[in-house]
Structure 1
Amino acid sequence: MSRAAAVVLSVVAVLALVSAEDPYLYFTWEVTYGTIAPLGVPQRAILINGQFPGPEINCTSNNNIVINVYNYLDEPFLLSWNGIQHRKNSWQDGMQGTNCPILPGQNFTYHWQPKDQIGSFFYFPSLGMHKAAGGFGSLRVHSRLLIPVPFDPPADEFTALIGDWYTKDHAVLARLLEAGRSIGRPAGILINGKSGKDAAGKDDPPLFTVEAGKIYRFRVCNVGLKTSLNFRVQGHTLKLVEMDGSHTVQNTYDSLDVHVGQCYSVLVTADQAVGDYYVVASTRFVKQVQTATAVLRYVGSTAPPSAVLPEAPSGWAWSLNQWRSFRWNLTASAARPNPQGSYHYGSINITRTIKLANSRTRVDGKLRFALNGVSHVNTDTPVKLAEYFNVSDGVFKYNLIGDVPPAADAAVTIAPNIITAEFRTFIEIVFENPEKSIQSYHLDGYSFFPVGMGPGKWTPESRKAYNLLDAVSRHTIQVYPRSWTAIMLTFDNAGMWNLRSEIWERHYLGQQLYVSVLSPARSLRDEYNMPDNAIRCGAVVSLPLPPSYV
């Protein structure tokens, strides 16, 4: 073979590799009921392939994830993927405003990519109060081999799904909310579906096993319904390396507050005497503290853990100060080889400021929660499908709320809450929390920059204290009692996206909205067409497909 021919073949081979489709990972999940008793009380749970929590998805950035979900429940079912951005593809979001549910006895195949993402996430059932029955699991997205990670590979990785837990059946909890009542306090706290002790108070078998001198990565996610939790490991420190899909400056902490919907990665060095130690998750910002433990065992241990648990912090000021210490790692690569900090969000002009205030009220004697005076209700036709098929006039109205909250005593409207955002504009959203309880918000389809928090009400003067350099890009953020939180983001992901309270009873009773981001070009460059296998329901069942994007 001539040298010229060899060069041509080499170029062809490189082009083939460049154009090759990203790898596929296939899963088949059967969703069923089962009986579990994590707090000693037998109860009905939602299992995936017989597991609680569900199977772990362990993938790499840009992998094609194909999950065929069979619904063997006696009620409709949907899964959502907390933190996965679904670029151009809100069809896979799995919320009630974007997808028709999987009916009993039927199946649906999700197909999505963690496009240019890395980090720690989780999936959960999004309909009704299903999340209170299980159906959730962890989702790890690793960096591709060619992309450097800003820490050495750990000896092993562990998942710690922490969350509050109720022993009441999820249908009972839903009936309480429909009757205008709260679901009340949880029955306890779980770590990976276990409280840590049996009915006699004896420790469960170790959940985590380590070897002395080695370093381990813990991926910690709060998958609960309403309670912020503090996470710590007895006798060990936590080196923070990632949160909600972004590498962080590697500060060391004795414990971390993990608010509902958030995920953190920490490195734990097994640098203590060989023995057993408790991993601890306990409630924050509530009068009655509840705690779960799990045993971390050193190989060769014969010593039980000390009964003296490390103390949790008190007050929300401590938590706010911890948040202020979080910084984005500007020199690390993420899912691409360019440094994370190459995106200078602080130098982009804000085109719109949206202030959203949560409220708790009663309408016709029943408990409701609202954003800017509108308490969201879901529609028989998902709002994304109504918009796509151009029948939204019969389903919902855009922009029932304005960009500023109404007066505190204004009447609350119960209606679908959908706002519009101009494609590719840079927007500031300010969450104002006038209530005594902590809030947690998540925005599907996006990561954003939480640039500021503070007590009282936000004013334009508050911008002077913004972090415009290295706020950590993430998808879920807390708002402390009688305080505000400001985020910035570019609405560059076309679709219909859920902005919601992660406090699930508040979400269920209206503290959420959808953001419609339309591309004027109607181009595949900006948004995918509705998948061929998409389930139809409501007003669009028999309608012809709109013209395809090209």
Structure 2
Amino acid sequence: MGYYSSCSSYYSWVHILILATFFVAPDVVQCRVRHYKFDVVTKNTSRLCSSKPIVTVNGKFPGPTVYAREDDTVLIRVVNKVKYNVSIHWHGIRQLRTGWSDGPAYITQCPIRPGHSFLYNFTLTGQRGTLWWHAHILWLRATVHGAIVILPKLGVPYPFPKPDHEAVLILAEWWKSDTEAIINEALKSGLAPNVSDAHTINGHPGPLANCSTGGFRLGVEPGKTYMLRLVNAALNEELFFRIAGHTLTVVEVDATYVKPFKTDTVLIAPGQTTNVIVSADQSAGRYMLTASTFMDSPIAVDNNTATATLHYSGTLSSTPTVLTATPPLNATPVANKFTNSLRALNSAKYPANVPLKVDHSLLFTVGLGINPCPSCKPANGSRVVASINNVTFVMPKIALLQAHVFNIPGVFTTDFPGNPPAPFNYTGPPPSNLATSSGTKLYRLAYNSTVQLVLQDTGIIAPENHPLHLHGFNFFAVGRGLGNYNPNVDPKNFNLVDPVERNTIGVPSGGWVAIRFRADNPGVWFMHCHLEVHTTWGLKMAFLVDNGSGPNESILPPPSDLPKC
């Protein structure tokens, strides 16, 4: 299992076998420290009728689920046994003062070289819910990913009726070819990489893919309730999730509780997590689960739908599956209805502490561009790039956090622009000059300062939805709209009472979203598009948060086994 614990009463082998069915909520004892071992290894697979070897953790696809409780300390030793450099990001974990364990390669650490290991050490301070982990280098997260389940402290109930059982469902993409070869060829040509060959649910595409490998099956008992912990681990596509004949009650996103609401369709962007409760209240039978693409701009996508089945106990194998129609590819009204329904729980126990005073008011444009590339013959001497405020991020050769803490000169500058350097009609016709600048630029924040950040999509090449992920912080999504953000009008409609709290947010195609957060976590914190192709093209930047003055307001010293570049 690749797991060991300092708590002798953690899991019996019976518990492990039950958990393999995905439907019994783990009875994790109160424990100060959780220990895991992740061996990054190559494994052959026959998924989607392809026998290619893939990079995995402990030989599993998806990888093992990390279980812990709120305020536990988690120690995970990652051993690199493959030919690639590796790093693991614990997506959504606040990493308060422990930025060394955040994981993005060349941002908070140098990658783990082949044959080496690194011990990630962090505490789950004030967090509970569903998060996930994934490789944060190259395109390895296509197969190197898994869930993180943080249970409430013992004796602390969910703020909704406790479900009878729980399950983790990881939605992802699959390529028949090696993903590193795909992106390397794209970078060489200057063109976009090939889209994936299928989507998957817990590693299975289902019978709708052109391959007879079957699909994932979730067994349920009539009258029981189930909490499904959904993770979108796809590299490049937002997904709709549905279950035929069943209503879903949304109770949590990105490990923060929301006001429960009912829906038949969940929208989940790459990097996001969503917990839903479903009641097994239908007639005995088999019901289809679907994960299908949402894309409301003219961009090439994998339009294959992944399927699984919800299987009631006692149902005969000959019983036909109840089907469900998937939303249209460009079902913007369905997507907006879901997004607009999200509100923070904002209870006495779980308040929405939205910053009301703003120290930094920032406007970041996010989108594509075109730069010269004489060697890119297929793209006629140019290449597609991506940028924030027209800066295409250049990855350093030394980790930014290391350069900051040890005052290593020449690695980065702190002149990232707080506003677009050349304003234009962002959602109108593109400007005549589509080129971007390049640099390793950071934006500096004083400890405990407050930030309002408006993320504005641009129509250069095409308008597109960008799921932006901020490391090291949760933030509140206080506003959202189409067209160009108007600083004189739009803030009047901001929700400063119960906006949803997230770590990954979708910037709407041809529109904007406004977020607020408090810079209460010292270190260097990556912010990037979670469409992997856009991150590769340079749609990324980082915030540098200075140490504060108090004893618990400075980043901790680096670990002794921190990887070297």
TM-score, normalised by the number of residues in structure 2: 0.86
C-alpha change, 1:465 and 1:206, in structure 2 (3 Å) is: same
Of the three residues 274, 278, 298, the one matched with 2:288 is 278
Partner of 1:93: 102
Between 276-285 and 35-44, report the one with greater CA deviation. 35-44
| Within-5 A mapping of 1:112-131 | 112-131=122-141
Partner of 1:212: 222
Separation of aligned partners in 1, 2:290 and 2:208: 16
Question: Do residues 82 (structure 1) and 97 (structure 2) align?
Answer: no
Question: Do residues 298 (structure 1) and 312 (structure 2) align?
Answer: yes
- 1:34-67 per-position Cα deviation (integer Å, ceiling 9, x unaligned): 1223222222211111111111101111111111
Question: Do residues 318 (structure 1) and 334 (structure 2) align?
Answer: yes
Separation of aligned partners in 1, 2:314 and 2:303: 33
Partner of 1:354: 362
Separation of aligned partners in 2, 1:438 and 1:453: 13
Give the 3-state SS of the residue equivalent to 1:340 in structure 2.
coil
CA contact (8 A) 2:208 2:305 kept: no
- 1:482-534 per-position Cα deviation (integer Å, ceiling 9, x unaligned): 10000011111111101010000111111001110011438444321112222
Give the 3-state SS of the residue equivalent to 2:47 in structure 1.
coil
Matching residue's letter, 2:341? S
> How many angstroms does 1:155 deviate by?
1.7
CA contact (8 A) 1:432 1:484 kept: yes
Partner of 2:16: none
C-alpha change, 1:420 and 1:474, in structure 2 (3 Å) is: same
CA contact (8 A) 1:163 1:229 kept: no
> RMSD across aligned C-alpha pairs, in angstroms?
2.0
Partner of 2:39: 30
Partner of 1:54: 63
> How many angstroms does 1:415 deviate by?
1.7
Separation of aligned partners in 2, 1:383 and 1:501: 19
Give the 3-state SS of the residue equivalent to 2:440 in structure 1.
coil
> How many angstroms does 1:316 deviate by?
1.6
Question: Do residues 164 (structure 1) and 181 (structure 2) align?
Answer: no
> How many angstroms does 1:145 deviate by?
1.6
CA contact (8 A) 2:49 2:213 kept: no
Which portions of structure 1, spanning 4 or more consecutive aligned residues, are displaced by more than 4 angstroms? 198-203
CA contact (8 A) 2:265 2:338 kept: no
CA contact (8 A) 1:359 1:371 kept: yes
Separation of aligned partners in 2, 1:137 and 1:328: 26
Separation of aligned partners in 2, 1:203 and 1:103: 35
> How many angstroms does 1:536 deviate by?
2.7
- 1:249-279 per-position Cα deviation (integer Å, ceiling 9, x unaligned): 1100011111111100000000001111111
Matching residue's letter, 1:458? Y
- 1:79-112 per-position Cα deviation (integer Å, ceiling 9, x unaligned): 0011111111111010121101111011111111
CA contact (8 A) 2:287 2:322 kept: no
> How many angstroms does 1:22 deviate by?
5.8
Separation of aligned partners in 2, 1:225 and 1:405: 30
Give the 3-state SS of the residue equivalent to 2:445 in structure 1.
strand
CA contact (8 A) 1:33 1:44 kept: yes
> How many angstroms does 1:362 deviate by?
2.1
> How many angstroms does 1:72 deviate by?
0.5
Of the three residues 144, 149, 153, the one matched with 2:162 is 153
Partner of 1:479: 507
Gaps of 5+ in 2: 1-29, 373-381, 424-430
- 1:192-218 per-position Cα deviation (integer Å, ceiling 9, x unaligned): 111012877667265211100000000
Matching residue's letter, 2:391? V
- 1:441-468 per-position Cα deviation (integer Å, ceiling 9, x unaligned): 0001100000111100101111111111
Separation of aligned partners in 2, 1:222 and 1:80: 15
- 1:265-296 per-position Cα deviation (integer Å, ceiling 9, x unaligned): 00000000111111111011167632010111
Partner of 1:514: 542
CA contact (8 A) 2:130 2:149 kept: yes
Partner of 2:20: none
CA contact (8 A) 1:316 1:480 kept: no
Partner of 1:253: 263
Give the 3-state SS of the residue equivalent to 1:249 in structure 2.
strand
Give the 3-state SS of the residue equivalent to 1:154 in structure 2.
coil
C-alpha change, 1:173 and 1:357, in structure 2 (3 Å) is: same
C-alpha change, 1:505 and 1:311, in structure 2 (3 Å) is: closer
Give the 3-state SS of the residue equivalent to 1:207 in structure 2.
strand
Give the 3-state SS of the residue equivalent to 2:311 in structure 1.
strand
Matching residue's letter, 1:390? N
CA contact (8 A) 1:417 1:512 kept: no
> How many angstroms does 1:307 deviate by?
5.7
Separation of aligned partners in 1, 2:203 and 2:215: 13
Partner of 2:438: 414
CA contact (8 A) 1:375 1:512 kept: yes
Separation of aligned partners in 1, 2:37 and 2:113: 17
- 1:392-424 per-position Cα deviation (integer Å, ceiling 9, x unaligned): x32111123233353453741222131111211
Give the 3-state SS of the residue equivalent to 2:203 in structure 1.
coil
Separation of aligned partners in 1, 2:416 and 2:209: 51
Between 526-535 and 118-127, report the one with greater CA deviation. 526-535
Partner of 1:529: 557
C-alpha change, 1:23 and 1:520, in structure 2 (3 Å) is: closer
- 1:337-384 per-position Cα deviation (integer Å, ceiling 9, x unaligned): x5222x4426x2112211111131222222211111111121111111
C-alpha change, 1:221 and 1:505, in structure 2 (3 Å) is: same
Between 304-313 and 445-454, report the one with greater CA deviation. 304-313
> How many angstroms does 1:176 deviate by?
2.4
CA contact (8 A) 2:52 2:176 kept: yes
CA contact (8 A) 1:198 1:204 kept: no
CA contact (8 A) 1:418 1:515 kept: yes
Give the 3-state SS of the residue equivalent to 1:250 in structure 2.
strand
Partner of 1:363: 371
Separation of aligned partners in 2, 1:53 and 1:339: 34
Give the 3-state SS of the residue equivalent to 1:355 in structure 2.
strand
Give the 3-state SS of the residue equivalent to 1:268 in structure 2.
strand
Question: Do residues 267 (structure 1) and 281 (structure 2) align?
Answer: no
Between 71-80 and 305-314, report the one with greater CA deviation. 305-314
Partner of 1:8: none
CA contact (8 A) 1:203 1:295 kept: no
Question: Do residues 488 (structure 1) and 488 (structure 2) align?
Answer: no
C-alpha change, 1:245 and 1:201, in structure 2 (3 Å) is: same
C-alpha change, 1:535 and 1:201, in structure 2 (3 Å) is: closer
Separation of aligned partners in 2, 1:479 and 1:200: 33
C-alpha change, 1:74 and 1:311, in structure 2 (3 Å) is: closer
Partner of 1:222: 232
Of the three residues 460, 484, 489, the one matched with 1:457 is 484
C-alpha change, 1:320 and 1:146, in structure 2 (3 Å) is: same
Separation of aligned partners in 2, 1:37 and 1:23: 40
Partner of 2:475: 448
Of the three residues 377, 400, 424, the one matched with 2:394 is 377
Gaps of 5+ in 1: 1-20, 332-337, 538-550
| Within-5 A mapping of 1:392-407 | 393-407=409-423
Separation of aligned partners in 2, 1:535 and 1:367: 32
Partner of 1:335: none
Separation of aligned partners in 2, 1:411 and 1:206: 45
Partner of 2:323: 308
C-alpha change, 1:385 and 1:187, in structure 2 (3 Å) is: same
